[in-house]
A = this chain, B = another copy of it.
Amino acid sequence: MLNKLTNWVRHRRTNTIYLAAMAVLFGAAFFARPLFGQTPGQEAPAALGGERVFKFFALFSDPRYTQLELVALMVVLAVAVAGLLYALMLMKQVKAADQGTKRMQEIAAAVREGADAYLAAQFRKIGPLILIITVILYFTTQSDLAAFKFGRAGAFVVGAVFSWLVGFVGMRLATTGNLRVAAAARHSYGEAMQLGYRTGTVTGMLTDGLGLLGGTLIFIAYGEQAYEALLGFGFGGTLLALFMRVGGGIYTKAADVGADLVGKIEKNIPEDDPRNAATIADNVGDNVGDCAGMAADIFESYEVTIVAAMILGLATFGHKGVIFPLLVRGIGVLGSIISTYTVKAGPNDTSDTALKSVHNGFWIGSMISVVGFIALGLAYLKFDANYLATNAAVKAGFPNGDPSQLPFWANLGIAGLDMRPVITCFIGIVLAIALNKVTSYYTHTTHAPVKGLAKACQTGHATNIIQGLAVGYESTVATVIVIATAILLSYLCYAGTPPLFVAYGVAMTGIGMLTLTGNTISMDVFGPVADNANGIGEMGYDAEAMEKAEKGSYKRARQILADLDAVGNTTKAETKGIAIGSAVIAAVSLFSSFIAVIAVGSEDKISLMTTEQYLAEAGKLTVSHPVVFIGFLIGGAVPFLFSSMLIRAVGRAAFLIVKECREQFRDADIWTGKKKPNYGRVVDICTSTAQKELIGPGFLAILTPLAVGFLLSTQALGGFLAGMILTGQLLAVFMANAGGAWDNAKKFIEDGNYGGKGSEAHKAAVTGDTVGDPLKDTAGPAVNPLIKVMNMVSLLALGVVMKYNIMTGTGSRVIGLLIALVCAVTIGWSIWQSKRESKELQEMEKQFEQ
């Protein structure tokens, strides 16, 4: 794998060298502790009274850490590495599998090339931005200690690279696995299914491993001053995920919609027909969007939740508060390793049994985790007099400052024990399962909502759309109630304690929720792999040869692939609820860090904050203040604008693809199948358009919080975040579920209900599906990283915003005004750009009108 990667980097030369150089530079600085930090006296600013003496790896010489804790941290590191090794092992298994015929390999290679080209192009586009942001992060760190500056900027680069790596490897693997699955389907259902699932598991374990590795390493290096580095790490992962999600989402739906419009609707040929120039792009899109995009997205959720838990853990329960979530994650990784390996299917299995095996894997993982959490809690979560003496802040977390006064449900009668973190983790696991169920209820063919949509298709296009909107609206309510209940329960666990403790409880719910990320991603990536394998079967199987070898084998193999595709669609859909749920939970828990920073004036003084300071600042974030309310209104509108931009982008890109495909169909040789269409041209269009369309939404995500902050103060920025989280979540769920329901209503009709394929009802269902496509696969999922990027940008810029904002800033307001203006103008330009029709579109328009 590493070989492949270096190879790949070598081939892109100049374009990527600067990023590699930068990574090495910061990486070296990041881990080279002798360079700085050992002479803190010189660098510690007078303002801090010299209190802050920073030393790398200080925890190894800190008497408060027991030997056992240090060993446990090393064990966590080992588990993270074990996860990565498990991924490597599975990767080898997948690669060693049969690769099918030459024709199949050609098709797979075309898809793979397209996917590579896309990621490379994106790399070239995002690279400079990452570089610029790195420099800005370095210089805007409020601390004067070089270690913190490097920590923030360096961790940002590491986070970004990890996120990109998860997406990149996941996608590469998917484009390797799809071929093997198609090949295996020729002789065994079980083998094909297992290969597909394991391909997904590789990405899953990579996410787990890298996420845990990064968090643990940062903590080991920075100890109790990890705040800056953790934020940088989280932001890097989140930003990359946003770009992967947005770019991938535009790519996949432009290709899909374009291919369908020309192929299925205009020319009436089946999906994946080799004569359609857009088919390869369509298959590339599945990898780029559903695989790279989704993997990067969940990676950043995984990352941000651990970042939030660690930051809050430090500020509340001291180092036990940090080590506990890391250990929990370790158990989760072990649980994922064991449970994903149990997912198997026999040669004669069916969709039902296969799905059961996947679900069983999830349950086994959950059981391992829950048992592990309880054992861990009983062993580790003990707070004795000694710990309380050396970690003064902890006392506030207990009734009257005394752990032994906790009620029975929290300490099980054992004085000094505090099982609340375990309980909140458990709430998180239940939340994940409940969100899966809600998603499933609103989007599965077996439940009333989708059946209702299919029925509505009988009365036409419009009734299907209207019903779908109603279903989507309603599903947001169910989701909100589930999430609100989880937050309420974790709040009740910590009721009576100061706000940061409550926030820690919410953060631990997030940790619990993403415990089985390995399994979740396996289920998710299985979707595009099976979809692609089906495409390779359609285009690449040699029906004659297969039938000659064994009668009926072609049909059987195609049926296996179709079944797997259906299973993949189901498992993929189930995981969507978790992605948005985790975004909300992470955002809510990070919100208290936001207030804490404002309260004490700078990130590096959080540990000195009093509860009174916090409450005073939190009180200013009241929605009753007009400026906060204005921020709140604007924040609420941003997800709408963002979605609107993405939807338009898909439309524009699809238009260009339709044009290209139509042109190619005019070539009689292509139409009759004598000549291969030029797949590459469509792939190129998708790649370049997706990159172009990336810019506007990207600027919107990064610059809006800055514009609000500098123009309207930090309080307005707080309101902005709250409004944005609320509507972002509602809109994301609405779009994902309405889209999913339309998709499955179409499938339900295609299964022979209400007239089946070709009926009027089916046409109405296809309209619903097409409307749902950009909602559920482009705009909806991109809102997750949007929420987190805006949160992270706000947190990182907070120091500068406090100083220079126009309303309440202490520094030069001219600087604030200038920054706000630059941001506002750039956002305006992005919006204008996103509405403008490209030259090609205008030309096409003219042709159309002639």
- Where the two chains meet, the residues of A that have a C-beta atom closer than 8 Å to any C-beta of B are 261, 265, 448, 455-456, 458-463, 465-467, 469-471, 473-474, 476-477, 480-481, 483-484, 487-488, 490-491, 499, 502-503, 506, 588, 591-592, 594-595, 615-616, 618-627, 629-630, 632-634, 636-638, 640-641, 643-644, 647-648, 650-651, 658, 712, 718-719, 722-723, 726-727, 729-730, 734, 766-768, 770-771, 774-775, 835, 845, 848
Q: Quick check: B626 and A480 within 8 Å, CB to CB?
A: no
Q: Quick check: A632 and B477 within 8 Å, CB to CB?
A: no
Q: Quick check: B637 and A476 within 8 Å, CB to CB?
A: yes
Q: Quick check: B629 and A618 within 8 Å, CB to CB?
A: no
**Residues A480 and B651 in contact in the complex (CB < 8 Å), given A491-B627, A727-B727:** no
- How many angstroms from the CA of A488 to the CA of B711 in the assembled complex? 11
Return the chain B residue nearest A630 by Cβ: B484
Q: Quick check: A640 and B767 within 8 Å, CB to CB?
A: no
Closest beta carbon of chain B to A450's beta carbon, Å: 14
Return the chain B residue nearest A476 by Cβ: B640
Chain B CB count within 10 A is highest, among A458, A506, A615, A623, for A623
The 5 closest A-B pairs by CB, nearest first: A619-B619, A462-B770, A473-B644, A491-B626, A480-B637
Task: List 9 other contacts, CB 8 Å, given A460-B767, A491-B630.
Answer: A448-B835, A474-B641, A477-B641, A480-B633, A588-B626, A591-B624, A619-B619, A621-B624, A637-B730
Q: Quick check: B474 and A644 within 8 Å, CB to CB?
A: yes
Return the chain B residue nearest A648 by Cβ: B470
Residues in B with CB closer than 8 Å to A774 are: 466
Residues in B with CB closer than 8 Å to A634 are: 480-481, 484
Closest beta carbon of chain B to A586's beta carbon, Å: 14
- How many angstroms from the CA of A460 to the CA of B491 in the assembled complex? 49
Closest beta carbon of chain B to A332's beta carbon, Å: 24
Complex A-B: 28 CB contacts under 8 Å = A462-B766, A462-B770, A462-B771, A463-B651, A463-B770, A465-B465, A466-B774, A467-B651, A470-B647, A471-B644, A473-B640, A474-B641, A477-B638, A477-B644, A480-B634, A481-B634, A488-B627, A488-B630, A506-B626, A591-B623, A592-B624, A618-B619, A618-B624, A619-B622, A621-B622, A622-B622, A623-B722, A726-B726
Residues in B with CB closer than 8 Å to A481 are: 634, 637
Chain B CB count within 10 A is highest, among A477, A481, A727, for A477
Residues in B with CB closer than 8 Å to A465 are: 465, 767, 771
- How many angstroms from the CA of A470 to the CA of B625 in the assembled complex? 31
Closest beta carbon of chain B to A743's beta carbon, Å: 13
Q: Quick check: A458 and B848 within 8 Å, CB to CB?
A: yes
**Residues A623 and B719 in contact in the complex (CB < 8 Å), given A630-B488, A634-B480, A634-B484:** yes
Residues in B with CB closer than 8 Å to A633 are: 480, 483-484, 487, 726, 729
- How many angstroms from the CA of A583 to the CA of B503 in the assembled complex? 34
Q: Quick check: B487 and A630 within 8 Å, CB to CB?
A: yes
Q: Quick check: B640 and A730 within 8 Å, CB to CB?
A: yes
Residues in B with CB closer than 8 Å to A643 are: 470, 473
